[in-house]
Structure 1
């Protein structure tokens, strides 16, 4: 009995234990699931928002410091209780305090603390400029020397802090120094000073691996030299200095790629395009004032030099397409368009470019163009511009000028080149319906204008007959080729013929000519309509 009772008690205890365990498991699971998950994203968002707010506060604080330094400079002018020398000294001390504070705080918040030394450097520059320009406390050469020291110190801070703001401040302070300090008495010295700055910054940018320093320096060097050149009557010297800047920064970018094995990104490449255009405009302007006949040729030399550097750099990455290719092609295209097309080519030769480009398209590799549409966008745009300009020039000559055999011959050649493109294009451009209509319309308008000039001396009936005959030829050829697009395009010619018959011939020509024109036009229009209806039934 005792043994049986003991077993029953053990079972009861076991049952209670299992019940307690189940309850504990439920409680534990409820305790783990009750608390809501920690709001990690809001915390991160708040940190980001706080950081952004802090950055704005820091920038505003920097502006306050710089404005305060400026008012220190202004204070003596209004009150006179501080001498200019002491005033500059106080501003310099403020700059030192900001730099020291920023360096001390670097370990706490590197990005935020880096704003303070930047403000101190700006105050250093302003103090130096004010010491010479406002108070004449130091000579121009001394101010330039101090500027060089400040720039060197700023480069050291850039190496230590690794913030692009310092490279921007350094370049702006160094290149604008001659302009702010006044270059009237030391203009030539300022030009040589800018060349030294360009060489120094191009070298340092490779050392510290900063594309930003190269870009900012290139813009400032070209603009500063051009501004100085407008005030200096030495165009040849300015052109030589601009060429030196171009060569320095081109080689600097080239050797940067060679040293780091990192080619330009697409954004970096296109950020250099405006400065290349500024250089080209300024260089051409100053060369043209001294040697107008040499300006286009020298410009082509610069374009060839840059293209040669690109080809040399491409050998380092044989299996890759460099992001700078669109930039190089765009610059070479701009130079060639202006120097060759607008300056070097005689006016009577330019219309033949229409024939050359149209026929040349037939021999261009279509696959390569399709794979590099972005790279060839600017060159293709230039070619389209040339085609449009010369096409309008031919139409103008045929319709508004007296008969000129040279213009008539080139117009006929252009007309035939368009038809060659329509018939023998194997890249699919002319096969597309919208492209086909465009090409046929250009050919028909050119044909209408040419026939008008050729037949206008023989009377209105001859002009109408030639247009209608041309339209019949087009429709017949389209019927033979079973080409709906070509057949429908003949409606352009028929429309001109009908408009002439109804609006001009019916009102201005003699009665006999009027009757013949209307009858001939009506017969051709009716017959053409019959053929077009037949063509429309084709599948």
Structure 2
């Protein structure tokens, strides 16, 4: 009614409309507290944060807008704490970020310092609100509450990083790490005070930390030439995280870091398999050899773990593929590449026999098949007679010995 009276009918002036909107919001809050009505409080939140969209008087300059939003954020956070209405500060959190960002991009794009100050203030206010809410209620965050908060964290991160990347690109990753550290500190404080953090809050904080580490550290701070080495190290990290057993005393959840590490590993796997921009990587031939070696090592360590046994076939497949592609990238003679494939197949078969691992032994059949087809279809035509005889001899001996060893594998 206030907006219509001012914008469409001209019945009241700009200042009167502003005071009218504020009065309606405060009245709605009072009624919400009086009748214990969550809907009235949410109506007040919606009206307060959308007022600058309709009333130009509220968006005159950056300072006034920052003060306006900050005061309401503090007010609604205080109301949410007093009335124990988490939805009030959650809705305020989303509207503050979205509406301010909209107004900033449309009207105040040049005043980015004020926008950065605003984002930092909102992060501090609503982080404090969430922390105090948990302490006041003496209960950890539920799973549904965590799902309500996580998109807001993503939104804050995206908006702040975009702003910093435009104006302070060198500091953007470091500031992102600082905000992640502040979030972690608040989480640890609550955990210490309550004696527990709950699975939901633990997963929420861990997921945000994993996001910041991947985006700010791996994608922006790490030199691209070192990325394959990091992916190589993360194979061991994933192996360690997969064997980690969590309980109530575990500070952080492992699954966000596992998925983040797997994403990095898979990206580098593709890079290694296709030898994509590996020339700039220090000791790139060694990297090509270490990927299959560490993959085989991880497979052997994880194959007997009942909880993650379903992942080991994929790990074994990658180990074989990376070994075969490493031979392709490191050996210039096609026939010798086939010999290397036969060697990998023979080692896999022998390993399956010695370790009594039927899966490892059976996987060698595909390697023998691919090596044999490559030799017959591609290698024999363009090679010298002596090399051709040698390759066929190696193929025959490998297949004969492989068949004999295969019969000795343990039954399924």
Q: Show the 5 A alignment for 1:123-522.
A: 127-182=1-56, 186-188=60-62, 189-231=64-106, 232=108, 233-319=110-196, 321=198, 323-361=200-238, 363-364=240-241, 366=243, 368-369=245-246, 375-397=253-275, 406-425=283-302, 428=305, 432=309, 434-456=310-332, 459-505=333-379, 509-510=382-383, 512=385, 516-522=390-396
Show CA shifts across 1:389-431 (max 9, x none): 1111111117x97797622222222222223223345971698
Unmatched segments (≥5 aa) in structure 1:
1-126
Q: Show the 5 A alignment for 1:38-77.
A: none
After superposition, the Cα gap between the structure-2 partners of 1:150 and 1:375, relative to the gap in structure 1 and judged at 3 Å, is same
After superposition, the Cα gap between the structure-2 partners of 1:404 and 1:310, relative to the gap in structure 1 and judged at 3 Å, is closer
How much does 1:359 deviate? 2.2
C-alpha distance in 1 between matches for 2:340 and 2:58? 71
After superposition, the Cα gap between the structure-2 partners of 1:173 and 1:410, relative to the gap in structure 1 and judged at 3 Å, is same
Give the TM-score normalised by the residue count of structure 2: 0.89
RMSD value over aligned CA atoms?
A: 2.7
How much does 1:479 deviate? 2.1
Contact 1:403–1:453 (8 Å) recurs in 2: no
C-alpha distance in 1 between matches for 2:95 and 2:185? 25
Moved more, 510-519 or 404-413: 510-519
- Partner of 2:230, secondary structure, is helix
Moved more, 237-246 or 138-147: 138-147
Unmatched segments (≥5 aa) in structure 2:
none
C-alpha distance in 1 between matches for 2:42 and 2:205? 25
Contact 2:190–2:197 (8 Å) recurs in 1: no
Moved more, 527-536 or 193-202: 527-536
How much does 1:266 deviate? 1.5
Of structures 1 and 2, the one scoring higher in RCO (CA 8 A, sep 6+) is 2
Give the TM-score normalised by the residue count of structure 1: 0.69
C-alpha distance in 1 between matches for 2:120 and 2:379? 63
Larger radius of gyration: 1
- Partner of 2:377, secondary structure, is helix
How much does 1:496 deviate? 2.2
After superposition, the Cα gap between the structure-2 partners of 1:293 and 1:319, relative to the gap in structure 1 and judged at 3 Å, is closer
Show CA shifts across 1:111-147 (max 9, x none): xxxxxxxxxxxxxxxx211233224444434322221
